[in-house]
């Protein structure tokens, strides 16, 4: 009965917003429900249950079972429940070469948890298809902006979108966190007993687990914890690559974020029609091209700087 009493337009807006974003935090999803159903009376659980019944024949599902491995935030995302190439089903078109590049980076991150962005970009040199460094850099920035990869400083790990879809699809083949039992890719391993933990789970255990008694010891074997718990550097000054990703990230309210064609502006109607002024459209497209070129040059500069740092070490 809930399906027939829930505002159809609200359901449509919620699903469209989730599709366009790919993945949101639990807090953002709850805010999105409030925006889509301003009259109230609808919870995130209600909305997810109704939409999942409608999406099941399409082998899609609104998933709320994963957490961001860096922040610990609970994630909500639309996933593909079929077993066919789940790791390469993006929400936007990618070329065959871009998919191969992404798969190489994903395989590396699934094994190592995190890696320098320059190491991942250099994966393009071992591809079967021709893929230049500039193409790899541009694709890397797009994947970070879309949430498939997550960048902090010069280090990269799987993004929240990959966490929701790819990790969920391969959960049976991954180790589980000893505390939350969620599949773990980026985390810490006890040097004594070999148990693996998410960083945020370890911090909670050190503080609240009676076995740890406020000390930094392994919650499983009580051996002193020797591995540093620092998460990837979050300095006040963004790295060049973080700035490149941020320049492509959407900044609009949750329920109104959508891709616009070149030349569209905020005064366009709700259908996203392009500006009637050809000069404005040309100028907007030119600015977008210059922004992409600046991002590519900045990425090249960072890669050269990191190579110099490695040589000095």
User: What pLDDT digit, counting tens, does each position of 53-71 carry?
Assistant: 999 888 888 988 888 888 8
Place 155 in a pLDDT band, splitting at 50, 70 and 90. confident
Give pTM, 2 decimals: 0.67
pLDDT of residue 275: 38
Classify strands 60-63 and 149-152 as parallel, antiparallel or unpaired. Answer: unpaired
Neighbours of 33 (CB within 10 A): 20
Contacts of 280 (CB under 8 A, 6+ apart): 263, 265
Summarize pLDDT for 281-291 with one digit per residue, the tens: 444 444 444 45
* For residue 22, pLDDT beyond 70: yes
* For residue 4, pLDDT beyond 80: no
User: What is the torsion angle, in degrees rounded to the nearest 10, for the CA atoms of residue 263, residue 98, residue 119 and residue 303?
Assistant: -30
pLDDT of residue 208: 87
pLDDT of residue 259: 46
CB 166 within 8 A of CB 158: yes
pLDDT of residue 25: 92
DSSP helix/strand/coil, 107: helix
Mean pLDDT, the chain, whole residue set? 76
CB 104 within 8 A of CB 119: no
* For residue 92, pLDDT beyond 70: no
Strands of 75-80's sheet in order across: 23-25, 75-80, 60-63
Q: What's 23's DSSP letter? A: E
pLDDT of residue 40: 80
CA 209 to centroid of chain Cα atoms: 30
pLDDT of residue 310: 53
Region 165-176: what's the mean pLDDT?
85
pLDDT of residue 304: 55
Summarize pLDDT for 106-153 with one digit per residue, the tens: 999 999 998 999 999 999 999 988 899 999 999 999 999 888 998 877
User: Which of 47-51, 266-270, 281-285 is the most confident on average?
Assistant: 47-51
Give the separation between CA 223 and CA 140, rounded to whole angstroms: 40
CA angle 271/276/279 to nearest 5° reads 130
Give the separation between CA 137 and CA 152, rounded to whole angstroms: 16
For CA atoms 129, 135, 136, 139, the dihedral sign is: negative
CA 206 to centroid of chain Cα atoms: 28
Give the separation between CA 303 and CA 305, rounded to whole angstroms: 5
Region 167-186: what's the mean pLDDT?
87
């Amino acid at each position: 009965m809930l399906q027939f009493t829930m505002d159809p337009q609200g359901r449509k807006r919620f699903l469209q917003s989730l599709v366009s974003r790919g993945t949101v935090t639990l807090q953002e999803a709850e805010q999105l429900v409030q925006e889509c159903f301003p009259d109230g009376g609808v919870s995130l659980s209600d909305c997810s249950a109704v939409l999942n019944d409608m999406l099941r024949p399409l082998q899609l599902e609104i998933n709320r079972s994963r957490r961001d491995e860096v922040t610990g935030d609970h994630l909500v995302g639309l996933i593909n429940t079929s077993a066919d190439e789940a790791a390469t089903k993006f929400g936007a078109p990618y070329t065959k070469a871009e998919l191969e590049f992404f798969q190489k980076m994903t395989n590396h991150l699934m094994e190592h948890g995190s890696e320098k962005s320059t190491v991942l970009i250099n994966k393009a040199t071992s591809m079967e298809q021709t893929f230049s460094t500039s193409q790899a850099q541009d694709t890397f920035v797009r994947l970070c902006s879309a949430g498939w990869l997550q960048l902090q400083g010069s280090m990269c790990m799987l993004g929240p979108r990959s966490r929701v879809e790819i990790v969920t699809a391969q959960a049976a083949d991954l180790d589980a966190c000893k505390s939350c039992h969620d599949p773990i890719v980026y985390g810490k391993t006890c040097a004594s007993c070999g148990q693996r933990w998410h960083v945020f789970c370890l911090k909670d255990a050190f503080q609240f687990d009676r076995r740890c008694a406020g000390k930094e010891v392994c919650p499983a074997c009580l051996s002193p914890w020797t591995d540093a718990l620092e998460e990837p550097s979050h300095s006040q000054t963004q790295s060049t690559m973080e700035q490149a990703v941020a320049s492509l990230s959407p900044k609009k309210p949750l329920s109104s974020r959508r891709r616009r064609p070149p030349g569209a502006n905020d005064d366009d109607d709700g259908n996203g029609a392009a500006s009637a002024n050809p000069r404005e459209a040309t100028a907007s497209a030119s600015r977008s091209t210059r922004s992409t070129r600046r991002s590519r040059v900045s990425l090249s500069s960072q890669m050269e700087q990191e190579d110099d740092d490695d040589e000095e070490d």
